[in-house]
Chain A
Amino acid sequence: MMRAALRSGALAAVLLLAAPFAHAIAPTRMPTPALEARYERLIHGFRCMQCQDESLANSPVSLAADMRRQIRQMLLAGATDQQIRNFFVSRYGYFILFKPPFVLKTAWLWLAPVVLLATGALSAAWVIRRRAALAARDDNDEDEPLDDGLAGPGKHT
């Protein structure tokens, strides 16, 4: 009882001590909630160019801090989200956006999954139909040995 209370007390103390650091990476406060929301959305949408798989919001490196400061200044100066995105894309390329726009240069990136999925679905449909046809033939013609190259599990189920 006593030990449990001590343990939860210690946990609470640790959490309380840690609380000020929870927002240590991006401690900025914008003057209005609307700007704050846009700032938050923007910093989550940009890639940290140094750590590459982290967003500006989560990156502890100082370049990310400089970029957040740049975003903050542009927001305070009245820039639109699109202007801020253009600013970074013109200097770092589409690579800096976690969600690059659909343009000629990025078309393959967006279309490749669709093409791959379609290829997979078509191949699957083709194999299933062929197997169904073979199974039907198999049922009608039980005695004749079948050499269809598809011998294996599933054929006689």
Chain B
Amino acid sequence: MRYFIPVALFAVLVVLLALGIHQAPRKDLVPSPLIGKPAPSFSLPSLSDPSAQVTTAALRGHWYLFNVWGTWCVSCHIEEPELLAIARTGRVPLIGLDWKDSRRQAIAYLQAKGNPYQQIAFDPGGLEAIHWGVYGAPETFLVNPQGIIVYKYIGPITPRAWVRDFLPRLPAAHAVSGS
């Protein structure tokens, strides 16, 4: 009984340290304060056609995935087949933000690997990505028809993440195309 307090304190310390150890590797996943907030509005030149603009205003009324990528980003190359698979399901259109990239390289990359995106905004200077709180690529935001960011996924989307994290947040298959 005399040792109750020290043992209890030790137990508390063990729990705290165990939590710390399990939390620590996820330090790379910083929760976004933008969840539940309106997506930043922008008007950026399109990657494929510099005279055309990609605007958030035109995306209103539809669910979309906003995927930040670049040809320099190795994890984006890993993610690419899954993005193509998502595009094939037709559940939700992909809008790309080509981040700090070269237009020529990006177009060549998409021609070689296939283009999962409905539209791609071109952000060579990287200032638009800051508005979205982006700190690495790939990052993917799920935006609802009201223009609210519902979810943010950091890192390459895996088939498992698509099923576990994205599908449950999307409306039933037949409801997506309408608004």
Q: Which A residues are closer than 8 A to B by beta carbons?
A: 49-50, 52, 62-63, 66-67, 69-70, 89-93, 95, 149
Contacts and interface: CB of A to CB of B under 8 A. Distances in A.
B126 A92 contact: no
Interface in B27-78: 27-28, 30-34
6 contacts: A63-B135, A63-B136, A66-B100, A92-B30, A93-B31, A93-B33
A62 B100 contact: yes
Contacts of B167: none
Nearest to A88: B130
A89 B33 contact: yes
B130 A50 contact: no
Interface in B117-140: 125-127, 129-133, 135-136
Contacts of B33: 89-93
Given A91-B34, A92-B33, A93-B30, A66 B130 contact: yes
B75 to A, nearest CB: 13
Given A49-B30, A52-B27, A149-B2, A91 B133 contact: yes
A69 B125 CA distance: 10
B127 A93 contact: no
Interface string B127-166: 1011111011000000000000000000000000000000
Given A66-B130, A92-B33, 9 more contacts: A49-B135, A52-B28, A63-B129, A66-B127, A66-B129, A89-B33, A90-B34, A91-B130, A93-B33
Contacts of B27: 52
A66 B132 CA distance: 13
A67 B2 contact: no
